[in-house]
Amino acid sequence: MLGGVESTSTACATGVHCIGNAFRAVRHGYARRALAGSAESCVNPISLAGFHRMRALATGDSPQVSRPFDNKRSGFVLSEGVGLLLMERLEDAQKRGANVLAEVLGYGISSDAYHISSPDPSGIGAQLSMQRAIEDAKLKSEDINYVNAHATSTPAGDSVEADAIRNRFSANQHSIAVSSIKGHIGHLLGAAGSVETIATVGCIRDRKLPANLNLEQSDVGEKLNLLTQTVDWPDKRLIAIVNSFGFGATNASLVVGEI
């Protein structure tokens, strides 16, 4: 554990940025292995007051208020957590007999250059982030089977991401499965990307895709396969993309695949 240490702070994109930077370091030979991820502890009066003033939080005491892509969504539910992954070269993992769970195939980043807390309505930043991750993986959009969406249950954010997915995956938008797990666990801010990457690895391991919890009727789901129940994945290679988009106009996407 005597290699380099670095810290990234890019709001809700932090986790995927950390994992993506570690992926690049290992791939290009700057490290043989790296421990990467993020943590967030933000359920406190100051954070709650700040996000409330921004009108970013869901209100009410219903346990169903976190409802990504649903037409009744009103904001996110603040949450906390941590997620870490051990990244290493495949040959090193196999040599030590490790249980290799998945492979990081590509990483892409972009900036909206639009507004500190609102996404560009055109979705260009999200599209570029996904496009660059797919190109980095040397794949085509049609190779992606599942999108673990950033969708936080905010009116603008979910709509823009849905449009970006539709445009980026226009050739297979009807078949590609899309879900956000924030209906299950809330929004972990800086830890969201790492925890959701781990969840996607779990999808690959268990061959199951999670539902958009609390999604009853969508106003943004036209021509998209928004999952409303957990589904078994058929006997074919699962390749997923994980999206994390943060305040400050920062976007990150990670392509993760079955070995």
The question of whether 52 is a catalytic residue gets the answer no
The question of whether 12 is a catalytic residue gets the answer yes
pLDDT attached to residue 119: 95
Domain ranges for the chain, please list them. 39-83+102-257
Mean pLDDT, residues 9-16 taken together: 98
Catalytic option among 12, 17, 18, 203: 12
**Pairing assessment for the beta strands 231-232 and 239-246 based on DSSP bridges:** unpaired
Catalytic option among 18, 150, 174, 184: 150
| Predicted confidence band of residue 80 (pLDDT cuts 50, 70, 90) | very high
Average pLDDT for the chain: 96
Element (H, E) at 163: helix 155-168
Question: Could you tell me the sign of the dihedral formed by the alpha carbons of 248, 139, 102, 232, in that order?
Answer: positive
Q: How many other CB atoms sit within 10 Å of the CB of residue 94?
A: 12
pLDDT at residue 252 is higher than 80:
yes
Integer Cα distance of 3 and 26 in angstroms? 12
pLDDT at residue 94 is higher than 80:
yes
pLDDT attached to residue 44: 96
CATH topology of domain 39-83+102-257: Peroxisomal Thiolase; Chain A, domain 1 (3.40.47)
Q: Which residue has the tokens 């996000």?
A: 51
CA within 13 Å, CB half, 240: 31
pLDDT at residue 158 is higher than 80:
yes
Catalytic option among 28, 174, 184, 187: 187
| Single pTM value for the model | 0.96
Integer Cα distance of 238 and 259 in angstroms? 9
Mean pLDDT, residues 137-155 taken together: 98
